[in-house]
Amino acid sequence: MNCVSEMHLERLKLGQFKELNEELPGRMNSIMSGVSPRRWICCTNVDLFKLLSKNLAGNTEWLCNMDVLHLIQPDPAFYIEFQRIRQSNKQNLAAYIFDTTGFQIDQVENRMFIGNTKRFSAHKQQLLSVLGIVDAHLRNEHKQTMTIFGGKAS
């Protein structure tokens, strides 16, 4: 049996499929159906990849085992470079959005970007995301957040 998330798997192991899990231990596992964080960082955020690898003395073992990231010894220079990379990525995203849509994002450096990209369907999680955006807008708490939806119809 394949489950989407570890949390979902554990709930099934302890609940609906407890007897099956006891009879066939190790046969239930979780499989991520998206892009792994290490591939995302390595391929799309090269500056962050370099910063992490440099801080780990060139050790790229974290590409196979993200637990190695706990070995990072951040110092003030690390935080300054991390913040520079973060701000640069925000500026690049805002420029891309403007170039492709004509929508200008102001105060990019103060904004938190939230991305929600997946196959669109009448799914509870997507509806709750939209309702959360509407609620923040109605309470006038949306000024520092930029939510981006992308995907295709299911």
Confidence of residue 20 (pLDDT cuts 50, 70, 90): confident
Over 23-90, what HEC string results? HCCCCCEECCCCCCHHHHHHHHCHHHHHHHHHHCCCCCHHHCCHHHHHHCCCCHHHHHHHHHHHHHHH
| 52-81 pLDDT tens trace | 888 888 788 888 888 888 888 888 999 999
For the chain, the residue count is 154
- Dihedral of CA atoms 91, 94, 99, 102 in degrees, nearest 10, equals -140
Question: Residue written as tokens 């995907």?
Answer: 151
pLDDT digits (tens, 9 = 90+) for 128-154: 777 888 888 788 766 788 888 777 766
144: Cα separation from own chain's centroid: 19
pLDDT at 64: 81
The token duo for 138 is: 């109605």
| DSSP annotation string for 102-121 | -PPPP-GGG-EEEEEES-B-
